[in-house]
């Protein structure tokens, strides 16, 4: 909802383009900075507890964002809601993966999960455009009402069958170090500044040294030695880099270069939400028939095609000319997002699903922030639009190469081999 409302927020509060992108990036800063800590906290302190507690914080600060009268107030509210999301999101994913056995049942559950996320995207586009006509503040107030209903329902409906892991001590040095490192790296991404990036890398090196000596490490370093896990997270970062950068550029193009209203913009991008239907149906069927990595690879190629087609954009393009790219983008999201969540926890012990989810969503948020920052740095005007749109193409090209290294020849079932021999 917020992405569609950005031009209205800028006009009312008099924000610069950099501050406007900061309204999105502040949320990402809190989200990416605290995600690893949030994921591990879910494993150690209880997934249900973390989900409910931080959903309540999310409700409060989303409401405060709607009351902001200055840019800095909006940035603070967005940052804290990002921190809340960093704790509740991996807990939510771990609640799903821990309660469904690995295989078709979990794939089905994660397909529904991805479809629900897509439904939120679609609803946000239309609702955001409609709410902005009544005032951009309703973009913050509406989630308060919805999240409050979710919170009450969760108290009665959510059960955590996996007890928290009781440890004699919590790795506080590791927690502080990795959080500071991720905050610095997230800030470096949203500001494109080298100094905090170097400081963040130094703190990550210190964090690794701490974890090697800790009796009860916050992050088991052995988990990070999985090549498949690393490739999955790199792909997630690149996929969301492309998607967030494209969406930000498209919003500015339609509203500020073409003069479309927020509602028209939301309706134009609504077709991307086709994965609401495809994710729990087509994607789940494909994953069970093939495997998550192959379906993900198909999604990346589809997304690459979508962004490539949009490079032909002109200042007077009709919606009919845009539609093929937007439809392909919806299909790409359906084929990629669910398999990413499946691959992120594939082969990971149940007691580390929160951490695995934290790694995935850290990659997703860093990709989102980097995509928006890169497009902002290039600028979106009549002269630089095509340059900005080249960034998603380049990101998905790299993602295709990374994912291709995970593809392995499919094993032919023995009964088929025997029949062929006969």
> Phi/psi of residue 336, each to 5°?
-100, -40
Burial of 326 (0-12, 13-18, 19+ CB in 10 A): buried
The 8-class DSSP code of residue 409 comes to P
DSSP string, 39-93: HHHHHHH-HHHHHHHHHHHHHHHHHHHHT--SHHHHHHHHHHHHHHHHHHHHHHH
Give residue 99's Cα distance to chain centre. 22
Closest CA to 345 of 43, 41, 32: 43
- Say how far apart CA 32 and CA 179 lie, in whole Å: 9
- Let me know: does 251 contact 4? Beta carbons within 8 Å: yes
Residue-wise over 385-415: b if at least 16 C-beta within 10 A, else e?
beebbebbbebbbbbbebbeebeeeeeeeee
CB 401 within 8 A of CB 275: no
For the chain, count helices (H), then strands (E).
17, 0
Instruction: Give the CA dihedral 270, 142, 60, 154, nearest 10 degrees.
Output: -80
* Residue 166 CB contacts under 8 Å (≥ 6 apart), including other chains: none
Identify the CATH number of the domain defined by range 2-405.
1.20.1250.20
Q: pLDDT per position in the chain (422 positions), as tens?
A: 787 788 888 888 888 776 777 787 788 778 877 888 888 888 888 889 999 999 999 999 999 999 988 888 899 999 999 999 999 988 988 888 888 888 888 888 888 888 787 777 767 777 777 788 888 899 899 889 999 999 999 999 888 655 665 555 667 788 888 888 888 887 887 677 889 999 999 999 999 999 888 877 877 888 888 888 899 999 999 999 999 899 888 988 898 889 988 778 888 888 888 878 888 888 889 988 888 899 999 999 999 999 999 999 988 899 999 999 999 999 998 899 889 988 888 878 877 888 888 888 888 888 887 888 888 888 777 678 888 999 999 999 999 999 998 886 655 444 444 554 45
Residue pair 39/196 in contact by the 8 Å Cβ criterion: no
Contact 356, 42 (CB under 8 A): no
The pLDDT assigned to 420 comes to 45
Identify whether the C-beta of residue 82 lies closer than 8 Å to the C-beta of residue 28.
yes
Query: Hunting for tokens 């804290």 — which residue is that?
Result: 80
Distance in angstroms (rounded) separating the CA atoms of residues 182 and 201: 9
Q: Spell 230-252 as b/e; 16+ CB within 10 A means b.
A: ebbbbbbbbbbbbbbbbbbbbbb
The residues, ordered by sequence, that sit 6+ positions from 350 with a Cβ below 8 Å of its Cβ are 97, 98, 162
Which residues does 268 contact at the CB level (< 8 Å), separation at least 6?
254, 260, 319, 322, 326
Cα dist from 70 to 46, 67, 115, whole Å: 37, 9, 36
State pLDDT tens for residues 133-167: 888 899 899 889 999 999 999 999 888 655 665 55
Q: How many whole angstroms separate alpha carbon 267 and alpha carbon 240? A: 21
Question: Which helix (H) or strand (E) segment is 151 a member of?
Answer: helix 138-157
Write b or e for each residue in 337-375: b if 16 or more Cβ atoms lie within 10 A of its Cβ, otherwise e. bbbbbbbbbbebebbbbbbbbbbbbbbbbbbbbbbbbbb
* Domain segments of the chain as ranges: 2-405
């Amino acid at each position: 909802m917020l992405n569609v409302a950005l031009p209205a927020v800028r006009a009312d509060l008099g924000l610069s383009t950099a501050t406007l992108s900061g309204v999105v990036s502040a949320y990402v800063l809190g989200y990416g900075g605290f995600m690893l800590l949030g994921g591990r906290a879910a494993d150690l302190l209880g997934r249900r507890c973390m989900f409910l507690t931080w959903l309540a914080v999310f409700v409060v600060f989303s409401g405060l964002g709607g009351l902001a009268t200055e840019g800095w107030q909006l940035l603070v509210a967005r940052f804290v809601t990002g921190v809340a999301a960093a704790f509740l999101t991996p807990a939510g994913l771990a609640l799903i993966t821990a309660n469904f056995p690995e295989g078709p049942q979990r794939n089905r559950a994660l397909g529904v999960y991805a479809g629900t996320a897509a439904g939120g995207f679609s609803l946000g586009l239309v609702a955001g455009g409609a709410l902005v006509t009544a005032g951009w503040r309703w973009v913050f107030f509406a989630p308060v009402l919805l999240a409050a209903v979710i919170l009450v329902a969760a108290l009665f409906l959510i059960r955590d069958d996996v007890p928290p892991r009781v440890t004699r001590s919590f790795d506080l040095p590791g927690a502080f170090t990795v959080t500071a490192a991720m905050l610095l790296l997230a800030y470096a991404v949203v500001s494109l500044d080298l100094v905090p990036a170097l400081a963040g890398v130094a703190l990550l090196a210190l964090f690794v040294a701490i974890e090697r000596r800790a009796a009860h490490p916050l992050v088991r370093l052995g988990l990070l030695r999985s090549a498949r896990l690393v490739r999955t997270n790199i792909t997630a970062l690149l996929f969301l880099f492309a998607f967030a950068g494209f969406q930000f550029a498209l919003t500015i193009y339609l509203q500020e270069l073409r003069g479309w209203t927020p509602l028209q913009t939301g309706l134009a991008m609504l077709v991307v939400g086709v994965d609401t239907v495809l994710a729990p149906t087509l994607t789940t069927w494909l994953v069970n028939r093939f495997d998550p990595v192959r379906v993900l690879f198909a999604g990346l190629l589809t997304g690459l095609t979508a962004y490539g087609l949009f490079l032909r954009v002109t200042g007077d393009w009709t919606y009919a000319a845009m539609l093929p790219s937007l439809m392909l983008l919806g299909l790409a999201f359906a084929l990629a997002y669910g398999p990413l969540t499946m691959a992120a926890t594939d082969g990971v012990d149940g007691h580390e699903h929160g951490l695995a989810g934290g790694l995935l969503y850290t990659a997703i948020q860093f990709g989102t922030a980097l995509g928006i920052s890169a497009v902002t740095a290039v600028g979106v005007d009549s002269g630089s639009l095509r340059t900005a749109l080249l960034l998603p193409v380049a990101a998905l090209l790299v993602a295709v190469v990374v994912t291709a290294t995970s593809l392995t020849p499919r094993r032919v079932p023995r009964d088929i081999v025997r029949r062929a021999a006969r």
